[in-house]
Structure 1
Amino acid sequence: MLISQCLSGATAVTIALNGDYILAVNSGIILVKKNGIQKQLLKLDHRILDLTFNEAIVYGVGDNGIFIRSTDYGCTWEMTTLPTSGSIWSICANNDGTVVTHGNNVLFLSSDFGKTWKTLHPFQSLLGNKPSIRSIFLDGQYVYVGTKVHKQHGGIWRIDLQHSEMVRIKRDTRMVAAILKHNQFIVSATGTCKGFKGTVEYCHESISSSKKYQWETCESDCKERCYLDLSTSDGFLYTSTSQDENGVGKVSRVYLDENKIVPCAIVHGHGWRVSNQQNEFLVAGLYTSLYSNSEYQHLIQH
């Protein structure tokens, strides 16, 4: 493997073409090829906190409302600022051109692959302080929204984009850091910065009976403050964690059929994001990033 010396502070990652990964670091965006060769795609002054790759388009969001997009596999980039001064933690897209990201307590929706945007206010009817958004997941006409810590309105909300309807499918006072769909299950990664309250939970998808979501908690031998991310590919489901008291974050395989979480790798610092292709994964860590599969592990030095 050829190792670049320019990496520092990885914050986001997504799987791309032919087993390549696109990784966000403090200096910008890089392409990490399956053979380990790395190529700088973009230099940036702002952190990119989430990346997604869909239909040959790379989307990214981060601090101070930054939104980036490339339609030619990172050769050229468009950059704009969405109307929020805070950090954008999550973005998702589908093949039809729908792209969804967020501000503090609003959603930004695009129907033309991120060229133009409109703002949605899903929480405007809620009484009291509005919850802040931390994670989103797009599934057909529905957007699942996970909140930051909020005692009254925290949890996961399902928003119907076609009918402008919203229902809370999970009540939770902790931060919902990630949501995805794995087979027939909706899966969430949650936790807080204090205590050891992190969990990975799942429920059967049940669109027609929204009031009957029954959430199960995966068992683990390790107590975690927070599970930060989730990634799924071809039946393989992974999660990453915040750092423990020793400064170590973990990557774990999640077995929903056995209701368990099994650690399989560690990184120094928070495991901010993880992305996988089958059993291979790359975790974007605060101090080290790790590319691993069942045969070998390789540290990407920062």
Structure 2
Amino acid sequence: MHANGATAVVSTSPNEFLVSIKGEGIYSFKHNRWKLIIPLQDSIYQLKRIGDYIMGVGDRGRFIRLHERTGRWKTSFFPTSQRLWNIVGNDSGLVITHAGTQLLVSLDFGVNWKVISLFKELSVRPIIRSLTLQDEDLYVGTQIHKQNGGLWKYTLSSQQLVPVLHDEETMVSSIHVDNSFLWLTTGSCQTKKGTFAFRNHRDNKWHSLTCEIEERAFLGMVHSGEHIYVCSSKDEYGYSRIYHVDLSRMTLEPVETIKGHCFCVAVSAEDLFLAGGEECKWMKASLKETKILH
């Protein structure tokens, strides 16, 4: 089933997921049944609940918006040929995505957009790879860039951009912020330098977790209650791994594999859904039972 695999997944209600299936569109998966919601040829690389909407971005600047209550949807393109990886927002109507070195910002749930040139003061500008939003602060991760790669923080109210972490060898593939910690995953598909790291807001000391396998990259993470899961890029055999974060031991414990790059993991009512580039996996009841969907 769905031999093309998946590129994004989001939990929409207990035991229900929306999944971007490569070359087919956005599906609902509930009670072990699939239903096509939005037919679409372009892959979506993040699905995110923002207000009453599920929004997504992906290949060739593709943007989708689905109203959860009415089921009405629309899809369009931003004026870019680049793949868009992240979209963030809040219940007040703020929506932010990215294109190259620019931020695309909406204040009305994606109806109208304006452009912010994020790195205009830099002589050599990095390409945006990842975003996360906490109140007025937008955290921005870059693709690999020797001079200005790494993690930046942009404050929306003051329009101030400050560096947080310089990294010239890896991309910052995903970011998460809570009241106590800043978390990120990094990697490079050319070398085995993938990391999962975090720091407390009260200091500048970064902590990295270890795992037995050297991963080229960690592509995504999900935080659900006390649990954190991260997923890797595929190895030389074509498989990636999903890890559970054990902070007591400061290790990443492998819990499952999946064929192709594992782009995303979503959690709903203790079920996990894994979006792999060549297959999907539904993991029932927090790893106690696994159901593989091909």
**TM-score higher than 0.5:** yes
Structure 1 residue 126 corresponds to structure 2 residue 122 = yes
CA RMSD of aligned residues (A): 1.6
Q: Where does residue 31 of structure 1 map in the other structure?
A: 28
Q: Where does residue 237 of structure 2 map in the other structure?
A: 246
Contact 1:228 1:239 in 2 (8 A): yes
Q: Where does residue 9 of structure 2 map in the other structure?
A: 13
Q: Where does residue 159 of structure 1 map in the other structure?
A: 154
Compared with structure 1, are the counterparts of its residues 74 and 298 closer, same or farther at alpha carbon in structure 2 (3 Å cutoff)?
farther
1-side partners of 2:127 and 2:145: how far apart?
8
Q: Where does residue 296 of structure 1 map in the other structure?
A: 289
Q: Where does residue 194 of structure 1 map in the other structure?
A: 190
Compared with structure 1, are the counterparts of its residues 164 and 183 closer, same or farther at alpha carbon in structure 2 (3 Å cutoff)?
closer
**CA deviation map 1:33-76 (0-9, x unaligned):** 1x211111011121111111133310010111111001135832
2-side partners of 1:258 and 1:182: how far apart?
21
Q: Where does residue 138 of structure 1 map in the other structure?
A: 133
Q: Where does residue 185 of structure 1 map in the other structure?
A: 181
What are the equivalent positions in structure 2 for 1:223-262 lying under 5 Å apart?
223-262=214-253
Q: Where does residue 112 of structure 1 map in the other structure?
A: 108
2-side partners of 1:107 and 1:197: how far apart?
28
Higher relative strand content: 2
2-side partners of 1:187 and 1:73: how far apart?
32
The unaligned stretches of length 5 or more in structure 1 are 207-211
Moved more, 154-163 or 89-98: 89-98
The unaligned stretches of length 5 or more in structure 2 are none
User: What SS class does the counterpart of residue 196 from structure 1 fall into?
Assistant: strand
User: What SS class does the counterpart of residue 107 from structure 1 fall into?
Assistant: strand
Contact 1:234 1:278 in 2 (8 A): no
Give the deviation of 1:280 after TM superposition: 2.6
2-side partners of 1:57 and 1:205: how far apart?
31
User: What SS class does the counterpart of residue 198 from structure 1 fall into?
Assistant: strand
What are the equivalent positions in structure 2 for 1:65-84 lying under 5 Å apart?
65-72=61-68, 75-84=71-80
Give the deviation of 1:8 after TM superposition: 2.3
The residue type equivalent to 2:288 in the other structure is E
Contact 1:236 1:279 in 2 (8 A): no
Contact 2:143 2:171 in 1 (8 A): yes
Give the deviation of 1:183 after TM superposition: 5.6
Structure 1 residue 42 corresponds to structure 2 residue 33 = no
Contact 2:14 2:269 in 1 (8 A): no
Contact 2:15 2:269 in 1 (8 A): no
1-side partners of 2:98 and 2:217: how far apart?
21
Structure 1 residue 221 corresponds to structure 2 residue 218 = no
**CA deviation map 1:230-249 (0-9, x unaligned):** 11111211101001111110
Question: Taking structure 2 as the reference length, what is the TM-score of the superposition?
Answer: 0.94
User: What SS class does the counterpart of residue 219 from structure 1 fall into?
Assistant: coil
The residue type equivalent to 2:222 in the other structure is S
Contact 2:51 2:92 in 1 (8 A): no
**CA deviation map 1:121-149 (0-9, x unaligned):** 11000122x10011100111011000000
Q: Where does residue 172 of structure 1 map in the other structure?
A: 167
2-side partners of 1:49 and 1:234: how far apart?
24
User: What SS class does the counterpart of residue 64 from structure 1 fall into?
Assistant: helix
The residue type equivalent to 1:197 in the other structure is K
Aligned residues: 290
Contact 1:42 1:74 in 2 (8 A): no
